[in-house]
Structure 1
Amino acid sequence: NASSATYIIHHVTNVDTTDQYGLTALHYACMNGNIEMVKLLIDAGANVNLCDRKHNYPLHYASTKGSTEILNILLNSHANPNCINDQGLTPLHLCIIGNHIDCIRKLLDSNANVNARTHHGSLPIHLAAYLGNIDTFDLLNNHSKAPKLTETDEQGNVCIHLK
């Protein structure tokens, strides 16, 4: 419960302590969609820009979960919307994979890079095309910094080849 969590947080010397996977309490709170815990940890000084051993940041976990509220909290606390994990995935890529359209909009409003490529050379718009997410594809294609539809991934595919 919140009062127990508050007590523990205020009696821990380092709120950013990691486990064997490099995960902090904030990573777990984001992973589990625990909005109240995210707020408590950030208020206690948790670093929103710490990555785990796979270079996933709290924003990656919030994006995978599709939690717009946690995404807002992290971004308002200066989380980097363009952080990259060890697969070359940004939070935007993960929101597209999960088809979390409201999170995608929030990331785009927070200057997420629509031209960020994964380690396989895929742009966010390539993922939207491959997954058949038409609303997401249209949102990305209409963005002011949208890549050209002729941009290829590392296999030479353009968007039309992917679906």
Structure 2
Amino acid sequence: MGGKYSRGEERRPLGFPGFSALCCCQKKNREETPLGFCDIKAPRSNPSFGRDDPAYLDMTYFPDNDLHMAACAGDLPFVRLYFTLGKYEVNHRDKENRNAMHFACFYGHLELVIYLWRRGCEINVCDNHNITPLMKAVQSWEDKIVCFLLEHHANLHIKDSMGNTALHYAVYSGNSATAARLLQYGADIEERTKVRITLLRN
């Protein structure tokens, strides 16, 4: 038998605020301005990843186990309980190679991110597409989490499988404040993706 967040193959996590809205945001906005910045005005609405736009960059991010379901919900007591009972290790990975930090960052649970970090959860872990928790926090406009990760040595030079860095995620999603923050921490604005696109186009 599973725990509080067990689910069948076809079920999806619906029990926490904002999840329904997230599920409605799967359409991509492919319109580009001359510099590749998209016209996004608010967090988590129709991300555009320039010419890359791979399917794995969809905003929906579904867990497949109780620990990651609790991380999505920001349910710190249950995350603690799973660790106390020894049901999961702090760096437990799912089939996509994601750990709890990926989910906590994506869904904006700063308190849980801090707890996981204190427990030794990896912040530079890469999933099957080489996406890090920092990239997911940037993609979701979770600026406080981005600041925490940067202050605790998140690697902003890691590239995903298409060659995008965290700075690419900030620019493609229209988050200029986070892009500026990443640049302050040493992000390279001339870094090229696998299709040879830089953030500064000639």
Question: Taking structure 2 as the reference length, what is the TM-score of the superposition?
Answer: 0.65
- Structure 2: gaps spanning 5 or more residues: 10-61
Q: Determine which structure has the larger helix proportion and give its number.
A: 1
Cα deviation, residue 110, structure 1:
1.9
Match of 1:4 in 2: none
Output the CA distance in 1 between the equivalents of 2:131 and 2:101. 11
Match of 1:108 in 2: 150
- Which of the residues 19, 36, 41 maps onto 2:77? 36
Identity across matched positions, percent = 22
Q: Which amino acid aligns with 2:114?
A: N
- Which of the residues 74, 91, 95 maps onto 2:133? 91
- CA RMSD between the two structures: 2.2
- Which of the residues 194, 197, 200 maps onto 1:154? 194
Question: More relative contact order in 1 or in 2 (CA 8 Å, sep 6+)?
Answer: 2
- Give the 3-state SS of the residue equivalent to 2:200 in structure 1: helix
Per-residue displacement from partner, 1:104-157 (whole Å, max 9, x unpaired)? 1111122110101000000111111111101100110001xx233211111222
Match of 2:160 in 1: 118
- Give the 3-state SS of the residue equivalent to 2:105 in structure 1: helix
Number of matched residues?
A: 143
- Structure 1: gaps spanning 5 or more residues: 1-7, 10-18
Cα deviation, residue 23, structure 1:
4.2
Output the CA distance in 1 between the equivalents of 2:72 and 2:63. 14
Q: Which amino acid aligns with 2:92?
A: L
Match of 1:128 in 2: 170
Output the CA distance in 1 between the equivalents of 2:131 and 2:63. 18
Question: Taking structure 1 as the reference length, what is the TM-score of the superposition?
Answer: 0.79
